[in-house]
Structure formats: structure tokens, C-alpha cells
């Protein structure tokens, strides 16, 4: 039952805000719908934690520990982002960068985007998964171009075309998957159901499945932001409104990776070797290294953190690629940490850039003077994402790297080098932004930084201590992925 | 040759699809491109309907009808309207000259025929041999997207990819489950709609639909 | 055997005699479609007769090759027209009707034409010869590709075998043949100097190809060349018919089918001529620089046909 609430609430929200989104209190309505979604997600999570995996709606939806964990994460970050976007978008409107019409579009698309992601996570049908992923892309395209500046239009167009092409490849992969499945399961709706496929995965035709996985990985990988198909990601993150950057980075990339992982489980079963994992490791490693070196050259703060997202998604992909209980556990943990930390960083960065009126790092200085909370928020977020203990990112990165040392020692130097380069460049660039000298006056309003500290608090907590039930939950999910 | 006549016609239509893909590659005018896209849809509709008729797969009739309405009538009409409304210049301007593009196209065709051969041998459908053609059409549409610098040809390339994928689904497995197909159609429709909005935004901002103006965001 | 030889002779003569009529028919159709009053269908015969009665004028610096070339060209075309199966299949000369040999015969005629054009040393002649060589350089491989596609189906490069395979086997749609047919049409248009590659009706120095080469000829030489041109059109039409719509051509030794075959051939030629006139009327002449692209497309189609043959028909 919760599942219908979970999907229905944001969808209703999207329609409602499309019709009545011009009102003054639209941001609050947006936050309210996100909150209701969060409650539904919490109820669903509770149900799964108690009762284990379940199928709902005649096999159309399937929920196990793996996706319910992402559902909870998605709903949480969606809610905190809506909290952050409330004052943020108001100020944008006051600055004249947006009008009521565009805000309506923004709020409506935001809800539909959340609905599409939740559908992608909960559906049991690989075809519907594709449809939902595409819907999520479409919902965000117009958000990226919300400011209608030349740069934002360009970014949105690139996002649209590149992800469109990517997702078309994924569709071909899905067709091949169906093609393989049809011979075992017979034609009709059930042949694309993941649970059904999972049951017969050993009988699926290996050649077709390996080809299908290549297409699926490249297709969904485009949305994950894996190199070399990552070029839409920094543009879309830098040019879209900050709340959109936060949800893109924190959520959409996860969902895309989720789709890859669902396919990987099937392919591993059919092939019986580590071909899928090796591919993922290759793409992951390439992304980590490439992103780390590109971070160094960035001047725009949002672009820089966008590249950092590519780096971390690459790391997670690499970890999933290694497979095994520990690596999967670490990857899931890192997924959580990255989502929470990166969205927190974008919240802080959003306020900082709004204040400075620019996204160029050279022009943002002395945040600690203009607003100490903001300054500390950004600093702590940066420290957290760079993997400094005691934050949770350290724990997950440490796990990933030790596993890599153990199983694939050749990759460790690359990983360490990339992480080192990223650490040096990001820290070196953020430090003057926070502690530098500035002539700007103090911030006239109190920024909405509760979400930032909420996220960072969670990350800190998970770094120090993972509650046993949470650890159990991660372990279950890791096992589902073939641990 | 033991194929029945309607399957021979399906094969012929498949060949026609490939031909149209090449014609799109060589097309210099936007209006011609849109017309070709409509023809591609028409060939697709005809082949889907024929397969549905000859194999008794009734859900394919719905797919065929959907294709007819969306891709033969709806979208071309929409594109023509946009072209008229935006009063854009009508040349396509490829970035690589057309004969070179064609040669690359031939290479792609050979590549995809080779790639599809082992898969189509596994397939149980009567029109399995057309899978290679479908794959070739996908790659050709890609090529078109890559080599065009204007917004509408890129979008048509995107839709042509979608058409070819649909054809691939029909030829390899008699089409995806209906729900999925409806979802895909819905996505495509919304996508085209979003693109329409986009065209106006781009036009408003750049005073042209040439994407050459949109090359600011590059890694320095 | 003797009937075979008689039939062979009859077919060759028929081709030679009918060729100007086909030309006249195409011209007439074109005139109708363009809303002009048409010249009589026998106009090409009258032109030939007129030319044969004139005295030949030959440039002072012309070499013997210049005089010799028209006969050579005519002979080549007559030979080609004779061996392509028009009404009957498997005639005594048929073993010579190998498609590759046929391409060779066309090439021989072309070489002589180009040499003769350059022989006098006028600017136009060399210009025309160069353009002709450009076109044929692109058309020939495409033509060979078309023939190969057809011969893959028949497993032979001999025309009579191809015709027999396509005409007398159970009817089947060959997508590859469809591609080859379109390509063949485009090549024929280029090779016969028709619109959109060349315009047979004008002497415009910027665009002409074929006409530029024969500017220096007069009287009986010109008549032979004109006749050869008509024969070439006829041969290409007969080739097209033999490859793509071969139904009706009489099988070996089937004398009773001959009248029907004759009728079928005439009907097909009439239709083909009308189609040619129609297409010429609706299309505009391409710039010379576009001609390679046009022929490139033909080549592409022929190659595609061949690839599709391997994919769909093996």
C-alpha cells in the first residue's frame, strides 16, 4: 500500500503545482509534498526491514533491501532539498532571475522528477525502469535551462541530446535483454520482470546478455556520468539552479547506477564470469582519474563539485565492479555518504554564489566573515567529501581502497593518486573561499542551512558509528548484489 | 527462398528503411529531412502491421497504429509547424561533407551486419535477419546526429534512432510488452514536446537554431 | 542451330533498327510532357538519313583515328545490343554476353570516343573527353556492383543465366535487386548523357559533356555516332529489362513464345521510355560538380544492395 502513496504523492504534487504553482506559498507546498513522500518512504522502509523483500501490484513493483535503501535516501534528500530551495528560490525571484511562471515550472518538474526516480527504483520491470529513467531526464531538462541564459540553454541541450542518445542505447540493451528472456520465459509482460529474470538468469543466452550489458552500461552509464560520456554533467550542474544540481548529483546519478547494478546481477548470473564487473571497474577507474585531473583546472565552483561527483560515482562504480560482500557494502555506504555530503555542499555553495553573484571561485572570498555558519558549512562539507576522518566518506573510501589493494592491487595506485590530486585541488580552492579576505558586507539574511548540518551530522554519525540494524541492512543489500 | 510473400515484403520494407536512413544522411534540406522521417515512420508502420498480420501478434497492431499517429502524422506536422513559425533557414549544413559521411555509413552498415549475425541466428522470429538492418539504422541515425550542427536535424536523428530501435524490437522479438511500448511512446512524445519548447527558448536567446552558437561550455 | 543463328541475326538487326525509334519515342514523350508539339516519332530516322546524304567535312589535322572512331563505336554498340537478350534467351552469341565483358565493350567505345574528341585538339573536345572520363570513372564501378548483385542471386555473371534464373524461377521479391535497379537507373542516366547529369538537347559549353566530344563530327560520321548513341540507350534499356523485369523473354528454343516476347519487349520499352522522359522532365540538371555525388549515390546503392543480399537472402 505504501508504494502507491510513495509514487502517488509526488505525482499529485507535480500536477497540483503545475495547476496552482503560481501562488505565493508554492515553495511550502513543494516542501509539504516532499515531506509526505518522505513519510511514505519511511513507512515502506519499516515494512521491508520487518518483512523482507516483497512484490506489490501483481508483480509490477518489487522492493528489497537494495532499492528500499535508495528509496529512503532519495526521499530524504528530496525533502531536505525542498527545504533548502524554499528560501533560495525566493531570493532568486527577488533578484529578478526568475519569475512566478518559471517557479511554477520548477516546482512541478521537481515533484515529477522525484516521482520518476522513485518509480525507477521501485519498478520490477526493466522496460518500465527505462521509461522512468527517461522521464526523469525529461523532467530535469527544462530545470537546467530555467534561467534561460545562453550558457544554461546550451547545457540543457547538451544534457538532453547526450542523455537521450545514452538512454537510446540503454533501450537497445533492454530490447536485447528481452530478446534473451523471451526464449526462456515466453513473450509477454513477465519476461522483462526483474524477479522473473533473476530466477532464470543462469539459462539466459550469454552472448546476447553480454552484448546487452555493454549497451546498458554505456547507456545508463551516460547518466551516471561515467567518463568518457560525462561531458553533460558539469555543464548541467553548473548552469542549472543549485537545488537542481543538488538532486542531480545526490540522487539521479544513484538511480542510474542502480539500473546498471540491476542489470549486472542478471548478467553475472548468465555469464558466470566477471565480464560485467571488469567493464564497470574500467569505466569507474577511468572516471575517477579523469575527473580528478579535471578538477584541478576548474574555476567555477559548481563545475568543480560536479567533477567531484563524477569522481565519486566512478569510485562507487569501481567498487561495485569489484563485487564481493565487502566491496558492495562499501559501495552502498559510499553512495549514501556521497549523496548526503554532495547535496549539503551544493546547498552551501548555492548560498555562497547567490551572495557573491558569481560562481567563479576567484570572486568568492571570506565566507567566514560574511556569514560564519555558511563558511563552516562549506568547509566541513568539503572536508567530509574529501574523505577526512571522522566523516563517513572516510570509512567507505577506506573500505573501497583496502578491498582494491587486496583484490586488484594494480588499481590502487591510480585510485590513491586520483584521490590525492582531488584532495589537493579542492582543498586548495575552497580554503581561500572560506578564509580569504573580503570587502563584501555581511549576509543580510540567515541562510537556510539546517539541511546542510543535518546531512553533515548524519555523515559524521555514520562515520563514527553505524547502527547495527543499518549495518545489517547494508549487508543484506550487498548480498543481494551477489556478495 | 522459402519465405512467404508478406515476409518478403517485410524484408523489402526493411531494406527501404535502410535506404531512407541513407537518404536522411545525404539530405541537405530540413523540409526534406522531415518528409523522409515521415516516410521512415510509414515504412515502419507498414512492416509492423504486416508482421502483426502474418504472425497473429495482435499487440503489434497497437504499436503500428501508435507509430502511424505519432511518427507519420503528429511529429512531422509539429516539425513543419515549428519550421514555419520560426522561419528558419532551410539548409542542414553537415559538418563533414556528405560523400565522406556516406562512406562512413557503409562501414557502419558492414559493422552492424557482422555484429547482428550471431544474434539473429539465435532469434526465433520470422524476420530475424532484419535485425542487422535495424542496428545499421540506429548507427546511421547516430552518425547523422553527430554530423549535423542544427537543432532540428539532431532531434530528427534522435527520433530516427528511436524508430530503428522500435524496428529492432519488432524484428528480434515481435515487439516489447505493450506497457513498455506505450511508456516509450509517451516518453518520446513528451520529449518532442520538450524539444519544441526548447527550440523557442534557443531561438529567443540566440536568434538562430544553429548550435554553433552553443559551444561556449568547453573544458578550457 | 541454324534457327539459332537466324534468330540471333534477327535480334541484332531488330535492335539496330529499333534503337532510333526508342530515341524518337523518348523525345516525343518529353515534348508532350513539356507541352510542346512533338516531332514525329520517326524524326531520328530522318535525321540519320539527312546526315548520311551530306558530305563529310574533316579537320586538316585529323588523324586516321578520327575517321575510324565512329565505325568502331557503332560496331561496339551494335555488338552489345546484339548479345543482350532482348526477345530470346540463349542465342548462339550468348556465351559472349557476360556482364563483365559487356562493361568492357562499353568502355572500349568510350575510349575511342574520348580519343577522337581529343584528336583534333580543340578545347571543347578535350573538355568533353575529360568530363566523360570523370563520369565513367565513377559509373563503371557502380555498374559492376549492380551486375555483381544480380549475379550473386543467379550464381553466374552470364546474362542469359541471370535472365533465366530471374524470369523462370518462382517469383520472389529480392530487396537487393530493388536497390540494384535504382542504382542501375541512375547509372544509365549518367552513361547515356541524360538529365540530370548531362543534357542531350543543348550545346552549352559550361555544362555539356557528350555533345562537346562530337562537335567536330559531321555527315556520315555524325550519323554513325548518333546511331550509336541511340543503340546505347537501347542496350541499356534492354539490360535493365533483362535484369529487373525479365518476364516474357523467350526461353531457349521456344519459338512459339517469340511473338509474345516481341510484344512484351515493345511494351516494356515504351513504358521505360515514357518513364525516362517523365523523370527527365521533373528533374533539373545538376551542376557538373554534383555529378560525382550523384554517381557516388548510385555506387552506394549498389553496394547496399549487395550487403542486403548477404543479410537477407542467403
Cβ A157–B122 below 8 Å, yes or no?
no
Query: What subunits touch chain A, counting only 3 or more CB pairs under 8 A?
Result: B
Residue reference for cell 581561500:
A432
Check if B142 contacts A (Cβ < 8 Å).
yes
Bridge partner list, A300? A360
pLDDT for A189 equals 65
Q: In angstroms, what CA-CA distances link C238 with C226, C232, C241? A: 18, 10, 5
Residue reference for cell 558509528:
A465
Q: Which residues of C touch B14 (CB under 8 A)?
A: 175, 312
| CA atoms of A29 and A36, how far apart (whole Å) | 11
The helix/strand/coil state of B156 is helix
The helix/strand/coil state of A300 is strand
Cβ C179–B19 below 8 Å, yes or no?
yes
Give B50→chain A minimum CA distance, Å.
Answer: 19
Peptide bond into B67 cis (omega under 30): no
Confidence of residue A259 (pLDDT cuts 50, 70, 90): very high
Cβ B184–A131 below 8 Å, yes or no?
yes
How big is the A-B interface in CB pairs under 8 Å? 135
In the structure, do chain A and chain C come into contact, i.e. share 3 or more CB pairs under 8 Å?
Answer: no
pLDDT over 50 (residue A258): yes
Check if B197 contacts A (Cβ < 8 Å).
yes
Give C176→chain B minimum CA distance, Å.
Answer: 8
| Extents of the domains making up chain C | 2-312
DSSP A240-288: S-HHHHHHIIIIIHHHHHHHHHHHHHHHHHHH-SSHHHHHHHHHHHHHH
Q: CA dihedral defined by A440, A443, A444, A445, rounded to 10 degrees?
A: 160
Nearest to B113 among C179, C292, C311 (CB): C311
Section B95-112 average pLDDT = 84
Find all residues with CB under 8 Å of A8, minimum gap 6, and list them: none
| CA atoms of C149 and C270, how far apart (whole Å) | 26
Query: What subunits touch chain B, counting only 3 or more CB pairs under 8 A?
Result: A, C
Q: Which residues of B touch A191 (CB under 8 A)?
A: 177
Q: A60 to chain B: nearest residue by CA?
A: B179
pLDDT over 80 (residue A444): no
Nearest to B205 among A127, A150, A238 (CB): A150
Cβ A297–B183 below 8 Å, yes or no?
no
Section A165-176 average pLDDT = 88
Cβ A153–B158 below 8 Å, yes or no?
no
DSSP state, residue C157: S
Main-chain phi, psi angles of A300, to 5 degrees: -95, 130
Q: Which residues of B touch C177 (CB under 8 A)?
A: none
Q: In angstroms, what CA-CA distances link C51 with A76, A315, C43? A: 95, 86, 12
| Region at A61 (left for phi over 0; alpha for psi -120 to 50; beta for the rest) | beta
Q: Are C286 and C197 in contact (CB under 8 A)?
A: yes
Retrieve residue C154's grid coordinates. Answer: 543467379
Residue reference for cell 515484403:
B9
Least confident range from A174-178, A325-329, A473-477, C249-253: namely C249-253
Largest CA distance in chain B: 60
Q: Which residues of B touch A127 (CB under 8 A)?
A: 176-177, 179-180, 183-184
Q: Where are the alpha helices (DSSP H) in A323-371?
A: 325-356, 367-370
Q: C296 to chain B: nearest residue by CA?
A: B99
Section A131-151 average pLDDT = 89
How big is the B-C interface in CB pairs under 8 Å? 58
CA contacts within 13 A on the Cβ side of C60: 0
Section B169-191 average pLDDT = 80
Q: Are C141 and C191 in contact (CB under 8 A)?
A: no
Q: How many CB atoms lie within 10 A of CB A273?
A: 12
> pLDDT, tens digit, for every residue of C63-100?
888 888 889 989 998 888 888 887 777 777 777 778 88
Cβ C296–B99 below 8 Å, yes or no?
yes
| CA atoms of A47 and A44, how far apart (whole Å) | 5
| CA atoms of C105 and C110, how far apart (whole Å) | 9
Find all residues with CB under 8 Å of B137, minimum gap 6, and list them: B17, B18, B21, B160, B163, B164, B167
| Extents of the domains making up chain B | 5-209
Bridge partner list, C250? C88
Q: What is the per-residue burial (b if ≥16 Cβ within 10 Å, else e) of C185-210? A: bbbbbbbbbbbbbbbbeeeeeebbbb
Cβ B179–A154 below 8 Å, yes or no?
no
Cβ B220–A188 below 8 Å, yes or no?
no
Find all residues with CB under 8 Å of A302, minimum gap 6, and list them: A237, A238, A242, A245, A346, A349, A353, A359
Q: B111 to chain C: nearest residue by CA?
A: C307
Nearest to A188 among B142, B177, B202 (CB): B177
| CA atoms of C94 and C83, how far apart (whole Å) | 6
Cβ C175–B14 below 8 Å, yes or no?
yes
Nearest to C178 among B12, B22, B109 (CB): B12
In percent, the amount of chain A with pLDDT more than 70 equals 99
Opening angle at CA C181, ends C179 and C185, nearest 5 = 120
Q: Are B83 and B30 in contact (CB under 8 A)?
A: yes
Q: Which residues of B touch C307 (CB under 8 A)?
A: 106, 109-110, 113
Confidence of residue B1 (pLDDT cuts 50, 70, 90): very low
pLDDT for C296 equals 84
Better-scored residue on pLDDT, C135 or B57: C135
| CA atoms of C96 and C73, how far apart (whole Å) | 18
Confidence of residue A216 (pLDDT cuts 50, 70, 90): very high
pLDDT over 60 (residue B2): no
Q: pLDDT below 70 — which residues of chain C?
A: 1, 169-171, 203-205, 252-254, 313-314
Section A371-393 average pLDDT = 90
Cβ C178–B98 below 8 Å, yes or no?
no
Q: Which residues of C touch B132 (CB under 8 A)?
A: 311
Smallest CA-to-CA distance from C11 within C69, C84, C119 is with C84
Q: Which residues of B touch C292 (CB under 8 A)?
A: 99
Q: Are A346 and A249 in contact (CB under 8 A)?
A: yes
Find all residues with CB under 8 Å of A232, minimum gap 6, and list them: A155, A158, A159, A162, A163, A222, A225
Cβ B14–C312 below 8 Å, yes or no?
yes
| CA atoms of A14 and A8, how far apart (whole Å) | 10
Amino acid at each position: 500500500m505504501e508504494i502507491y502513496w510513495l509514487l502517488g504523492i509526488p505525482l499529485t504534487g507535480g500536477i497540483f503545482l503545475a495547476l496552482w504553482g503560481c501562488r505565493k506559498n508554492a515553495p511550502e507546498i513543494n516542501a509539504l509534498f516532499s515531506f509526505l513522500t518522505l513519510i511514505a518512504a519511511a513507512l515502506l522502509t519499516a515494512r521491508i526491514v520487518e518483512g523482507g523483500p516483497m512484490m506489490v501490484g501483481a508483480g509490477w513493483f518489487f522492493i528489497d533491501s537494495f532499492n528500499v535503501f535508495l528509496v529512503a535516501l532519495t526521499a530524504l534528500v528530496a525533502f531536505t532539498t525542498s527545504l533548502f530551495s524554499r528560501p533560495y528560490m525566493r531570493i532568486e525571484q527577488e533578484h529578478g532571475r526568475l519569475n512566478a511562471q518559471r517557479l511554477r515550472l520548477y516546482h512541478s518538474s521537481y515533484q515529477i522528477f522525484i516521482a520518476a526516480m522513485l518509480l525507477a527504483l521501485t519498478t520490477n520491470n526493466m522496460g518500465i525502469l527505462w521509461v522512468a529513467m527517461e522521464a526523469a531526464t525529461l523532467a530535469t531538462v527544462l530545470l537546467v535551462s530555467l534561467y534561460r541564459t545562453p550558457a544554461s540553454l546550451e547545457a540543457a541541450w547538451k544534457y538532453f541530446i547526450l542523455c537521450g542518445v545514452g538512454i537510446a542505447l540503454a533501450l537497445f540493451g533492454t530490447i536485447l535483454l528481452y530478446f534473451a528472456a523471451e526464449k526462456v520465459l515466453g513473450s509477454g509482460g513477465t519476461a522483462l520482470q526483474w524477479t522473473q529474470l533473476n530466477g532464470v538468469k543462469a539459462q539466459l543466452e550469454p552472448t546476447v546478455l553480454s552484448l546487452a550489458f555493454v549497451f546498458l552500461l554505456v547507456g545508463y552509464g551516460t547518466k551516471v556520468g561515467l567518463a568518457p560520456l560525462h561531458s553533460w554533467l558539469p555543464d548541467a550542474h553548473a548552469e542549472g539552479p543549485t537545488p537542481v544540481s543538488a538532486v542531480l548529483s545526490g540522487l539521479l546519478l544513484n538511480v542510474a547506477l542502480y539500473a546498471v547494478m540491476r542489470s549486472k546481477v542478471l548478467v553475472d548470473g548468465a555469464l558466470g564470469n566477471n565480464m560485467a564487473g571488469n567493464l564497470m571497474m574500467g569505466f569507474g577507474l577511468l572516471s575517477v582519474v579523469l575527473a580528478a585531473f579535471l578538477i584541478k583546472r576548474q574555476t567555477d565552483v559548481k563545475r568543480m563539485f560536479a567533477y567531484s561527483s563524477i569522481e565519486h560515482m566512478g569510485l562507487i562504480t569501481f567498487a561495485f565492479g569489484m563485487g564481493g560482500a565487502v566491496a558492495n557494502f562499501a559501495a552502498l555506504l559510499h553512495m549514501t555518504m556521497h549523496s548526503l555530503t554532495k547535496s549539503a555542499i551544493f546547498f552551501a555553495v548555492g548560498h555562497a554564489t547567490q551572495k557573491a553573484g558569481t560562481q567563479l571561485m576567484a570572486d568568492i572570498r571570506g565566507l567566514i566573515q560574511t556569514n560564519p555558519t555558511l563558511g563552516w558549512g562549506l568547509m566541513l562539507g568539503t572536508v567530509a567529501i574529501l574523505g577526512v576522518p571522522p566523516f563517513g566518506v572516510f570509512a567507505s573510501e577506506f573500505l573501497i581502497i583496502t578491498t582494491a589493494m587486496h583484490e586488484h592491487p594494480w588499481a590502487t595506485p591510480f585510485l590513491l593518486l586520483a584521490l590525492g590530486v582531488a584532495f589537493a585541488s579542492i582543498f586548495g580552492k575552497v580554503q581561500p573561499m572560506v578564509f580569504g579576505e573580503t570587502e563584501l558586507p555581511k549576509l543580510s539574511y540567515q541562510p537556510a542551512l539546517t539541511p546542510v548540518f543535518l546531512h553533515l551530522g548524519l555523515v559524521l554519525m555514520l562515520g563514527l558509528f553505524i547502527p547495527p540494524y543499518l549495518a545489517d541492512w547494508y549487508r543484506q543489500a550487498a548480498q543481494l548484489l551477489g556478495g | 527462398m522459402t519465405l512467404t510473400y508478406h515476409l518478403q515484403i517485410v524484408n523489402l520494407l526493411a531494406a527501404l528503411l535502410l535506404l531512407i536512413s541513407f537518404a536522411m544522411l545525404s539530405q541537405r534540406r530540413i523540409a526534406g529531412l522531415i518528409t523522409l522521417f515521415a516516410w521512415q515512420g510509414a515504412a515502419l508502420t507498414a512492416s509492423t502491421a504486416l508482421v502483426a498480420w502474418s504472425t497473429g501478434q495482435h499487440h503489434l497492431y497497437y504499436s503500428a497504429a501508435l507509430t502511424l499517429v505519432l511518427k507519420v502524422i503528429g511529429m512531422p506536422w509539429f516539425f513543419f509547424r515549428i519550421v514555419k513559425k520560426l522561419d528558419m533557414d532551410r539548409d542542414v549544413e553537415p559538418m563533414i561533407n556528405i560523400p565522406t559521411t556516406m562512406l562512413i555509413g557503409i562501414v557502419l552498415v558492414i559493422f552492424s551486419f557482422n555484429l547482428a549475425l550471431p544474434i539473429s541466428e539465435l532469434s526465433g522470429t520470422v524476420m530475424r535477419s532484419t535485425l542487422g538492418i535495424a542496428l545499421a539504422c540506429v548507427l546511421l541515425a547516430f552518425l547523422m546526429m553527430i554530423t549535423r550542427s542544427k537543432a532540428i536535424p539532431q532531434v530528427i536523428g534522435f527520433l530516427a534512432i528511436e524508430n530503428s530501435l522500435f524496428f529492432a524490437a519488432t524484428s528480434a522479438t515481435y515487439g516489447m510488452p505493450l506497457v513498455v511500448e506505450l511508456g516509450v511512446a509517451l516518453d518520446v512524445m513528451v520529449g518532442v514536446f520538450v524539444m519544441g519548447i526548447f527550440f523557442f527558448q534557443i531561438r529567443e536567446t540566440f536568434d538562430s537554431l544553429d548550435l554553433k552558437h552553443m559551444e561556449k561550455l568547453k573544458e578550457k | 542451330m541454324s534457327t539459332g543463328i537466324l534468330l540471333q541475326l534477327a535480334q541484332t538487326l531488330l535492335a539496330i533498327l529499333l534503337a532510333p525509334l526508342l530515341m524518337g519515342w523518348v523525345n516525343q514523350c518529353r515534348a508532350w510532357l513539356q507541352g510542346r508539339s512533338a516531332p514525329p516519332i520517326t524524326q531520328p530516322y530522318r535525321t540519320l538519313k539527312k546526315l548520311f546524304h551530306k558530305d563529310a567535312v574533316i579537320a586538316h589535322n585529323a588523324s586516321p583515328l578520327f575517321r575510324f572512331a565512329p565505325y568502331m563505336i557503332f560496331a561496339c554498340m551494335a555488338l552489345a545490343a546484339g548479345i543482350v537478350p532482348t526477345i530470346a534467351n540463349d542465342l548462339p552469341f550468348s556465351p559472349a554476353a557476360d556482364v563483365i565483358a559487356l562493361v568492357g565493350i562499353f568502355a572500349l567505345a568510350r575510349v575511342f570516343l574520348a580519343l577522337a574528341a581529343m584528336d583534333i585538339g580543340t578545347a571543347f573536345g578535350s573538355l568533353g573527353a575529360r568530363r566523360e572520363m570523370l563520369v565513367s570513372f565513377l559509373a563503371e564501378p557502380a555498374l559492376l556492383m549492380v551486375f555483381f548483385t544480380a549475379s550473386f542471386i543467379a550464381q553466374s555473371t552470364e546474362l542469359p543465366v541471370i535472365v533465366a534464373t530471374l524470369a523462370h524461377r518462382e517469383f520472389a521479391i529480392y530487396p537487393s535487386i530493388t536497390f540494384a535497379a535504382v542504382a542501375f537507373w541512375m547509372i544509365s542516366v549518367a552513361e547515356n548523357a541524360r538529365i540530370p547529369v548531362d543534357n542531350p538537347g543543348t550545346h552549352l559549353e559550361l555544362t555539356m559533356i557528350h555533345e562537346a566530344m562530337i562537335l567536330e563530327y559531321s555527315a556520315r560520321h555524325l550519323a554513325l555516332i548518333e546511331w550509336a548513341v541511340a543503340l546505347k540507350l537501347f542496350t541499356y534499356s534492354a539490360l535493365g529489362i533483362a535484369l529487373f523485369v525479365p518476364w516474357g523473354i523467350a526461353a531457349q528454343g521456344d519459338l512459339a513464345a517469340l511473338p509474345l516476347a516481341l510484344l512484351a519487349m515493345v511494351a516494356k520499352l515504351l513504358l521505360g521510355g515514357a518513364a525516362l522522359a517523365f523523370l527527365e522532365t521533373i528533374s533539373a540538371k545538376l551542376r557538373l560538380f554534383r555529378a560525382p555525388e550523384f554517381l557516388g549515390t548510385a555506387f552506394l546503392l549498389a553496394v547496399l544492395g549487395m550487403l542486403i543480399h548477404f543479410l537477407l537472402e542467403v
